Structure 1
Amino acid sequence: MNKVRMRFLMSMVLILGGYAFAKAQSAQSLLKEVDAKVKSYDNIAIDFKYALTNEAEGVNQETKGNVVLNGDLYALNLLGTTQLFDGSNIYTIVPEDEEVTISAIADQDETAITPSKMLSFFNDGYTQKMDISQKIKGRTIQYVKLTPMDSNSEVKHTLLGIDTETKHIYRLIIVQKNDTKITITVNSFKSNQPLSKNAFTFDKSKYADYYINKI
């Protein structure tokens, strides 16, 4: 191989390598902006659409939900179930079964994307790179592809859609290795709302007739 061709190939390698690095850096930079924006709020209230699909299994489910977040504390309503986290325990309230399950936060899977981590889970354990950009209702949504570093993870990859103007998460798409896809789309995002002091407190007196299951 002559010297001219060798220099050309070396230049292309450096250019392509630099381009890939720049893309990785821009994904990391965007996610840092999202994280900083989330941490700037006292609390966040989100209404969202939840979709679960698996074409091979014929599963196609859609519903709406809402969650209020205050640091690690949260109150989630989804699929007819309410879940509260008060900083120590998670209370899962199922009116249909008249049952409350109480579990300690220490028993939870650390890799799970819980409501507490919904807006910050991407900080650790994933490789990050820019994906497609879309125009949705006049907004530019930039997707970042997150691939778990843990090869044993049930998740193949996650796509995080970010509004480039507000730096808010608009859509979260989780693709599992069994081809199940979970899509969470934010319909309403509000911050610094007035909250009751008991917003994340489980009041046992309201569930006197419920079966209390403590794990």
Structure 2
Amino acid sequence: MKFPNLFKNNFLTATLLLLLASVSMQAQDKKAKDLLDQVTAKIKSYQNISIDFKYTLNNFKENINQESKGNVVLQGNKYVLNLMGVTKIFDGAKTYTINPEDEEITISKFDANDDNAITPSKMLTFFNKGYKFSWDILQNVKGRKIQYIKLVPTNPKDQRKEILLGIDTQTKNIYNLIEVGRSGTKTTLTVNSFKTNQPLSKNQFTFVEAKYPNYLINRID
């Protein structure tokens, strides 16, 4: 069967465009992977990290708008997080959640099988497993070039639709993280201050029960 020349030309052109698009996408993904690898290497080079950040949560359907400031100190997988008046300490084995308003402390063992939750210690390198990633937009934020990488969870049961990771192209540090849920909830964590290799107390990640004599302590094993 003979095809009209016009049809054949259009078919060849479309095929060529699809091939070029495929090659371009592979190149974009490689660029994304290379940048994420640089971020990971940079993070691993620090002895410890201290971050001040802004946290926002929005859901237009539910009319929810929350904003809070927080800070976190990380060393390896240990951390001390302060957010919304609650302090969370992870000493490498157990998590201590301290709620001064309720005078209550919850102590729980570390769950190594929880791959979905982006904990402070995982936030800076969580993207290395369980996601497809692609090159996204470049933004100029107060003179800083922020390159976004789009991350899509590979687990179909994951309630997160996508995550946008903003990376400072000069420092290779994370500037912000935007998480979009399937329910329409959008959470954004923006780094206001990023300090590394700070002098830390020997007891920085140690929970001292004696400091909270009147608190109710819940131990979850």
TM range (shorter): over 0.9
Q: 1:122-173 CA deviation, whole Å, 9 max, x = no partner?
A: 0000000011110001000011110000010110100000000000100100
Amino acid of the structure 2 residue aligned with 1:198: N
Find the counterpart in structure 1 of residue 124 from structure 2.
119
Find the counterpart in structure 1 of residue 64 from structure 2.
59
Match of 1:99 among 96, 104, 110: 104
Runs (5+) with no aligned partner, structure 2: none
Find the counterpart in structure 1 of residue 22 from structure 2.
17
Find the counterpart in structure 2 of residue 200 from structure 1.
205
Match of 1:141 among 140, 146, 161: 146
1:31 aligned onto 2:36: yes
Amino acid of the structure 2 residue aligned with 1:152: K
Find the counterpart in structure 2 of residue 155 from structure 1.
160
Secondary structure of the residue that 1:110 maps to in structure 2?
A: coil
**Aligned counterparts of 2:175 and 2:112: Cα–Cα separation in 1:** 30
**Aligned counterparts of 1:109 and 1:4: Cα–Cα separation in 2:** 53
1:86 aligned onto 2:91: yes
**Aligned counterparts of 1:38 and 1:185: Cα–Cα separation in 2:** 17
Q: Provide TM-score, normalisation by structure 2.
A: 0.93
**Aligned counterparts of 2:155 and 2:139: Cα–Cα separation in 1:** 29
Amino acid of the structure 2 residue aligned with 1:30: L
Amino acid of the structure 1 residue aligned with 2:139: Q
**Aligned counterparts of 1:97 and 1:89: Cα–Cα separation in 2:** 21
Change in Cα spacing, 1:199 to 1:108, as seen in structure 2 (3 Å) is farther
Q: 1:70-96 CA deviation, whole Å, 9 max, x = no partner?
A: 010000000000000000000000000
Cα deviation for residue 110 of structure 1 reads: 2.4
Change in Cα spacing, 1:152 to 1:5, as seen in structure 2 (3 Å) is same
**Aligned counterparts of 1:146 and 1:4: Cα–Cα separation in 2:** 37
Change in Cα spacing, 1:81 to 1:108, as seen in structure 2 (3 Å) is farther
Name the count of aligned residue pairs. 215
Find the counterpart in structure 2 of residue 72 from structure 1.
77
Q: What is the alpha-carbon root mean square deviation over aligned residues?
A: 1.4
Find the counterpart in structure 2 of residue 210 from structure 1.
215
Q: Provide TM-score, normalisation by structure 1.
A: 0.96
1:109 aligned onto 2:114: yes
Identity %: 55
Cα deviation for residue 6 of structure 1 reads: 5.3
Between structure 1 and structure 2, the one with the greater Rg is 2
Cα deviation for residue 106 of structure 1 reads: 2.2
Amino acid of the structure 2 residue aligned with 1:197: K
Amino acid of the structure 2 residue aligned with 1:55: F
Find the counterpart in structure 1 of residue 135 from structure 2.
130
**Aligned counterparts of 2:112 and 2:123: Cα–Cα separation in 1:** 18
Match of 1:183 among 188, 192, 209: 188
